[in-house]
């Protein structure tokens, strides 16, 4: 019950039902009473038709008697003898089933008592009889006799009983003209028998006539209950569909209250108050959603900006830390060869001074001088290489200017051989094997400086970090690129460093020489040439790098 009270559609449907119920009951009552009048009218109409039909049957039988007498009277007048008259009377009675008896009166008393024409009478046995009489005038003279033919009403009743009555207990009644039957709540219809003093009445009990009407009362009661239920159901459906937008608005407004501002309220095509209310809510929701979306967007942008600032702060701190480590590493890497050069310079200075002073015991032999010179040269080259890397890693300078200059015509095999010779000069004990699938006149349009630096860096690393005896520089071509492959045999690079080797300042070993810029700069040079530098992870006997240069 509480649920019904909470539902607006249920309340409205109950109200509509209470309003429509009296009207429905009144209309059903009027219809019920009108049906009673219709039943009586239809029954009276049907009974009148039945009575008329029955009257015609009675008249037809009376006419048969009259015709039987009239058709034989001329024969009696021509043969007015006793035996002939009896014979004709028997013939009339035998040939006409409707004739109950036929008699001829020739005495003056009988002639005086019988009046010519039709009449109903009562016999000595109490039977009602229709009698028709006609005077006989032999040879056109005076009346010599009267012929009469009678019809028993019992026989006529059989004819009447064959008629289909309006109700099972309906019956016919023969009464004199001017008299009336006792109705006693019955329907009585009269019809006159012409040429007689009698009327034929049809009596129909009203209880039987209204029996179906009384049964209709039960149907009317059931129809009343079903009708009220249908009114309740239809009114509930109609009101539910009418107020359905209100229920939807309630649900959507609760979602908006819960923070779901993007839950769209559909527009309504209805022109009533509820439709306009729904459209107003829809406009309000759109405005509110736009306002909240703008606030949310501003908050997200602020949050994203804060994240960017935090990330920038982390990157700045990391850059500061890397800068400090880089300066320390550069200082260490440059201090070591400088100390060596300065130390050997002092040794050479002392040796020269000793030679000048004639101190033969302190003179250095030629072999030692050669070793000192080689060591100084190696460290000088190392210093020059580090300075070159620092220059290449700068964002502005020659490398930036040469980014789009790829107009040099480079012979593929020649530049490879030049880089191998350069590596052998730096590492005399290293064995480098050269293999090429290209002809000697194969030419590549690229930047000579970037290609040379990249190949030198790959050969330098292979000579420095491998066994130095199984280094191969291989050249081959694909559909769109020239590939330089540098392969060595050695410890290789650990799997955990595969994704880091091309990042600046990344070294396999922190105690090893170098700044960690060689491979990153080589990849940068390859990309500046429109190609790429790839580390082949499928090779496990050392390291294999593939330099791809577009044709």
Query: Is 200 in contact with 172 (CB distance < 8 Å)?
Result: yes
Burial class from Cβ neighbours inside 10 Å (0-12, 13-18, 19+) for residue 310 reads: exposed
Phi, psi of 112 (to 5 degrees): -70, -35
Q: Please provide the distance, in angstroms rounded to a whole number, between the alpha carbons at the two ends of the chain.
A: 87
pLDDT at residue 484, as a whole number: 94
Which residue has tokens 């109700």? Answer: 167
Which residue has tokens 């009276």? Answer: 44
C-alpha torsion sign, points 207, 209, 211, 213? negative
Structural domain contains residue 110:
yes
Single residue among 213, 228, 255 that ends a domain in this structure: 213
Structural domain contains residue 265:
no
Residue 246 CB neighbour total at 10 angstroms: 14
Structural domain contains residue 483:
yes
At residue 101, the 3 state secondary structure works out as: strand
Burial class from Cβ neighbours inside 10 Å (0-12, 13-18, 19+) for residue 326 reads: middle
Provide the 8-state DSSP code for 409. Answer: E
Structural domain contains residue 445:
yes
Structural domain contains residue 336:
no
pLDDT at residue 199, as a whole number: 82
Single residue among 191, 213, 235 that ends a domain in this structure: 213
pLDDT at residue 398, as a whole number: 42
Residue 482 CB neighbour total at 10 angstroms: 21
At residue 486, the 3 state secondary structure works out as: strand
- Provide the β-strand partners of residue 187: 204
pLDDT at residue 123, as a whole number: 46
Q: How far apart are CA 319 and CA 313, in angstroms?
A: 9
Contacts (Cβ under 8 Å, ≥6 apart) of 12: 235, 239, 242, 243
Q: Which of 220, 234, 229, 232 is nearest to 30 (CA)?
A: 220
DSSP assignment of 1-54, as one string?
-HHHHH-HHHHHHHHHHHHHHHHHHHHHHHHHHHHHHHHHHHHHHHHHHHHHHH
* Structural domain of 438: 394-550
Give the number of domains in the chain: 2
Query: Is 391 in contact with 397 (CB distance < 8 Å)?
Result: yes
Q: How far apart are CA 403 and CA 530, in angstroms?
A: 9
Single residue among 213, 246, 265 that ends a domain in this structure: 213
pLDDT at residue 395, as a whole number: 44
Query: Is 465 in contact with 490 (CB distance < 8 Å)?
Result: yes
Structural domain contains residue 245:
no
Query: Is 473 in contact with 533 (CB distance < 8 Å)?
Result: no
**Helices of type H across 427-536:** 448-465, 518-528
At residue 127, the 3 state secondary structure works out as: coil
Tens-binned pLDDT, residue by residue, of the chain (551 aa): 344 445 666 777 777 777 877 887 888 788 878 888 888 888 888 888 888 888 888 888 888 888 888 888 888 888 888 888 888 888 888 888 778 788 888 776 556 655 555 555 544 444 556 788 888 888 778 888 888 888 776 777 777 777 788 888 888 887 877 788 777 778 888 888 777 777 888 888 888 877 777 777 778 788 888 888 888 788 878 777 777 777 777 777 777 777 776 677 777 777 777 777 777 777 877 787 788 888 888 888 888 888 888 888 888 787 767 766 666 666 566 666 666 666 666 666 566 556 555 544 444 566 666 666 666 666 666 666 666 666 666 543 444 444 557 788 899 999 999 999 988 888 888 889 999 999 988 898 898 888 998 998 899 888 888 877 889 999 999 988 999 999 998 887 877 676 667 776 666 655 455 566 778 888 888 888 889 999 988 888 889 999 999 98
- Provide the β-strand partners of residue 548: 483, 532
pLDDT at residue 401, as a whole number: 44
Structural domain contains residue 348:
no
Structural domain contains residue 261:
no
**CATH number of the domain to which 417 belongs:** 3.30.565.10
User: Which tokens hold the place of 349?
Assistant: 């200075």
């Amino acid at each position: 019950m509480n649920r019904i009270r909470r539902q607006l559609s249920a309340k409205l449907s109950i109200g509509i039902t209470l309003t429509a119920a009296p009207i429905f009951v009144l209309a059903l009552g009027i219809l019920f009473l009108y049906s009673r009048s219709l039943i009586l009218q239809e029954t009276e109409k049907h009974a009148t038709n039945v009575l008329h039909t029955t009257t015609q049957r009675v008249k037809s039988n009376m006419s048969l008697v009259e015709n039987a007498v009239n058709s034989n009277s001329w024969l009696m007048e021509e043969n007015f003898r006793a035996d002939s008259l009896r014979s004709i009377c028997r013939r009339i009675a035998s040939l006409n089933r409707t004739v109950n008896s036929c008699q001829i009166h020739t005495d003056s008393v009988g002639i005086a008592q019988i009046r010519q024409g039709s009449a109903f009478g009562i016999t000595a046995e109490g039977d009602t009889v229709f009698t028709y009489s006609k005077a006989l005038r032999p040879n056109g003279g005076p009346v010599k006799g009267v012929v009469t033919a009678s019809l028993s009403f019992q026989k006529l009743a059989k004819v009447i009983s064959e008629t289909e009555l309006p109700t099972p207990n309906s019956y016919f009644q023969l009464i004199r003209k001017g008299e009336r039957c006792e109705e006693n709540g019955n329907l009585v219809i009269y019809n006159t028998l012409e040429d007689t003093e009698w009327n034929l009445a049809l009596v129909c009990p009203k209880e039987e006539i209204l029996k179906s009407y009384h049964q209709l009362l039960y149907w009317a009661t059931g129809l009343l209950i079903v009708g009220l239920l249908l009114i309740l159901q239809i009114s509930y459906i109609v009101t539910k569909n009418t107020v359905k937008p209100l229920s939807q608005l309630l649900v959507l407004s609760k979602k908006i209250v819960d923070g779901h501002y993007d839950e769209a309220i559909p527009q309504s095509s209805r022109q009533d108050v509820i439709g306009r209310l729904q459209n107003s809510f829809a406009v309000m929701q759109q405005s509110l959603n736009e306002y909240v979306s703008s606030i949310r967007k501003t908050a997200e942008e602020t949050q994203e900006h804060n994240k960017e600032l935090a990330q920038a702060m982390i990157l700045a701190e990391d850059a500061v830390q890397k800068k400090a480590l880089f300066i320390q590493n550069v200082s260490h890497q440059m201090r070591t060869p400088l100390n060596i050069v300065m130390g050997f310079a002092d040794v050479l200075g002392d040796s020269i001074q000793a030679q000048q002073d004639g101190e033969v015991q302190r003179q250095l032999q030629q072999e030692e001088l050669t070793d000192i010179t080689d060591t100084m040269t190696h460290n000088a080259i190392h210093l020059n290489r580090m300075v070159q890397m620092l220059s290449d890693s700068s964002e502005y300078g020659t490398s930036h200017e040469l980014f789009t200059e790829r107009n040099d015509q480079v012979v593929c095999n020649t530049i490879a051989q030049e880089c191998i010779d350069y590596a052998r000069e730096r590492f005399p004990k290293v064995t480098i094997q050269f293999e090429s699938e290209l002809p000697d006149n194969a030419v590549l349009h690229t930047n000579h400086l970037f290609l040379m630096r990249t190949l030198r860096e790959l050969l330098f690393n292979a000579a420095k970090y491998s066994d130095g005896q199984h280094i191969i520089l291989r050249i081959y071509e694909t559909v769109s690129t020239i590939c330089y492959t540098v392969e060595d045999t050695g410890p290789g690079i650990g799997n955990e460093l595969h994704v880091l080797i091309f990042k600046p300042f990344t070294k396999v070993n922190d105690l090893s020489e170098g700044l960690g810029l060689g491979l990153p700069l080589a990849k940068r040079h390859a990309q500046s040439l429109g190609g790429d530098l790839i580390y082949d992870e499928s090779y496990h006997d050392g390291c294999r790098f593939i330099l791809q240069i577009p044709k």
